[in-house]
Amino acid sequence: MPLDANALRTAGIPAPWTFGMADRVRFAEIDSLNHVNNVVYLRWYETLRVNYMDHYGIYDVAGPDPKFVVKTVGLDYQAEVMRGAPYINVARTVAMRNTSFVMEYATFVDGKITTTGTAVVVILNADSSKRPLTGALRQILIERDGAVQA
């Protein structure tokens, strides 16, 4: 189950993070260097993003048959995470443009950030043309996360 702001504060994750998921590193996420493989974080943030959008009801207010696609991603690795470690991944939306929004992610282990990420998410129509964010979608991102118009 997702962690909300209160649950995150209890777990030692500071504001402004308001959405998170806790889990433990799986055997398959460790590579031959004996730490969480760098690609795994991008997979984690995908899982987190989909849960975030489900949980915030974003799919329901994005217009008919929206297709959410990642346009750019970036990851910054600051510390290794080891086998079996408990971690909390957090996400929030920081900015909105006409047809996209910008999310930030982080991984916390023992209250410290080990990796951060960012993604620009676009919404496409069935014909792959870009679709403007609906007002209802903007409202959710503003109220929940304080996302700003960029």
Catalog residues that contact a second copy under the rule CB under 8 A.
26-28, 30-34, 37-39, 42-43, 46-47, 50, 54, 67, 69-77, 80, 83-84, 128
Cβ proximity to a second copy, 82 vs 149, nearer residue:
82
Rounded to a whole number of angstroms, the minimum distance from the CB of residue 106 to a second copy is: 14
User: Residue 16, preceding bond cis, omega within 30 degrees?
Assistant: yes
Tokens read off for 148: 């700003």
Rounded to a whole number of angstroms, the minimum distance from the CB of residue 54 to a second copy is: 7
C-alpha distance from residue 48 to each of 4, 45, 56, 64, 122 (Å): 13, 5, 12, 23, 17
Cβ proximity to a second copy, 69 vs 150, nearer residue:
69
Rounded to a whole number of angstroms, the minimum distance from the CB of residue 125 to a second copy is: 13
Residue 74 dihedral angles phi and psi, to the nearest 5°: -145, 145
Cβ proximity to a second copy, 27 vs 129, nearer residue:
27
Q: Could you give the count of Cα atoms lying within 13 Å of 53 in the half-sphere of its Cβ?
A: 20
